[in-house]
Chains A and B, each alone.
Chain A
Amino acid sequence: MSTTSSGVRLPPVAELAVASIVMMLAGGILLASRIPGRPDYPLSIALVAVGGAITVVDLVLLLRIRPFAWATFRLVLRWALLAYGVISALLVYVFAINHTPGSTMAVLVVTLVVFAVDVPTILAFTVARFAPPDGAPATPLAEPAP
């Protein structure tokens, strides 16, 4: 386990999110590699489900961290969610434009939603773990040079 700047031991939030991303990518590649034939839905859905479950566990572990720089976490999360939400929406648009079958589209949308949660979580967590926890005294400002 890693620690925050104040020495609080942290669960493997980033590592679990990366594991989930690996599941999402594997599921997506499996779907794409079978076109135009019938995709391997059971395996793809299983990968997405496992990845989604890892993400849920990850978020539960994250939310239990105390103390933590939650203000910093939320700041980064907000903007990262916007950025990766836009990217995910663009990908959904491309799949829709290409008349992706409904069942495949459903799996891809779930994949992208989980992906759009995982990446901002990693970004926000990595920044926040090095920030002073909420309520801790801020690092004193340096005095101006003479």
Chain B
Amino acid sequence: MTQQLAGPPAGATGAPPGLIRPEFDIVPRGGLPIVGVALVGLAVAVGTNANWAVDFFHVVGGGFWTALDLFLGFVLGPILGRLSIPARVELTTRLMPKMLLIMPTLVTCTLVAGWQLAKESGNILSTSPNHGWVVASMIVVAVMAVVALGVLEPANLAVLFELKKPQPDGQVIASLMKRFIYSAGITGAMQVATLIIMTRLATR
């Protein structure tokens, strides 16, 4: 189901005439049970101290998180910037609601399981030879958390709300989307640092 907009009144900064926007849910409700299963599974893995399960959550969660961040920042982001407005809107309304659920879930699973692994392996201890690398990874994660929670996720949500309006303001959307572009470099660098740290830890 789609909405077709009439042309905006003179002087308005709304969407271009004839822009078709697909109907979408800001939070895709079908994804909520999957998030629930993931978080409950994580809690059970940590509670039972099942090493394989904890490792699974950390490696799979971290792998997906890193890959998604790098792909979105350096591949899809530039492509999105070159699409026509209608194509950009269509991709945004289909992709960003899913990202609203996927990214926090992946991050939570990765960090919680990572903490558990660091504790069980002894790497978290200040006496461990890997302690410096673990602290470095915490700092890297903290930088990513500030960027994601302070810039990216609010912009993501605000764009979706703007696209829900009958007359979305293109300038608002453009301004919010610019945050993704400017933040991609920071999160990309942090993800590369994470890859270096984690592969180093795994091979020491």
A interface with B by C-beta (< 8 Å): 5, 14, 17-18, 21-22, 25-26, 29, 32-37, 72, 76, 79, 83, 86-87, 90-91, 93-94, 97-98, 119, 122-123, 125-127, 130-131, 139-145
A18 and B142 contact, Cβ closer than 8 Å, known pairs A86-B39, A142-B6: no
Report B-chain residues with C-beta under 8 Å of the C-beta of A130: 158, 161-162, 169, 172
Contact A21 B150 (CB under 8 A): yes
Main DSSP-derived SS at the B contact region:
helix
CB neighbours (8 Å) of B125 from chain A are: 35-36
C-alpha gap A121/B202 in the complex (Å) = 38
Q: In the complex, are the beta carbons of A21 and B6 less than 8 A apart?
A: no
- By a CB distance below 8 angstroms, the chain A residues around B166 are 139-142
5 A-B pairs whose Cβ atoms sit less than 8 Å apart in the complex: A21-B145, A22-B146, A33-B138, A87-B104, A94-B112
Is B115 engaged at the interface, CB distance under 8 Å to the other chain? Answer: yes
Smallest beta-carbon distance A3→chain B, Å? 12
B130 is an interface residue with CB less than 8 A from chain A: no
Q: How far is the CB of A136 from chain B (nearest CB, A)?
A: 13
Residue B183, interface by CB 8 Å:
no
Q: Which residues of B contact A125 (CB under 8 A)?
A: 154
**Which B residue sits closest to A140, measured CB to CB?**
B166
Residue-wise interface mask of B (53-80) relative to A, using a CB-CB cutoff of 8 A (1 in contact, 0 not): 0000000000000000000000000000
Using Cβ atoms and an 8 Å threshold, which residues of chain A touch B126? 33-37
Residues of B near A94 (CB, < 8 A) are: 46, 112, 115-116
Known: A25-B146, A143-B6. 8 other contacts (CB 8 A): A21-B145, A37-B126, A79-B27, A122-B154, A126-B158, A141-B166, A142-B6, A142-B167
B172 A26 Cβ-Cβ under 8 A: no
Q: If the complex has contacts A90-B108, A142-B3, A142-B5, are A25 and B158 also in contact, measured as CB distance less than 8 A?
A: no
* Interface membership of chain B positions 102-133, coded 1 if the CB is closer than 8 angstroms to chain A and 0 otherwise: 00100010001001100100001111000100
Other-chain residue from B6, B47, B139, B154 in contact with A123 (beta carbon distance below 8 A): B154
Say if the beta carbon of B155 comes within 8 Å of chain A: yes
- Residues of chain B within 8 A (CB-CB) of A119 are 149
A90/B142 in contact, CB under 8 A: no
Contact status of A97 and B150, CB under 8 A, knowing A21-B145, A83-B104, A123-B157: no
Cβ of A145 and Cβ of B158 under 8 Å apart?
Answer: no
B131 nearest CB across to chain A (Å)? 8
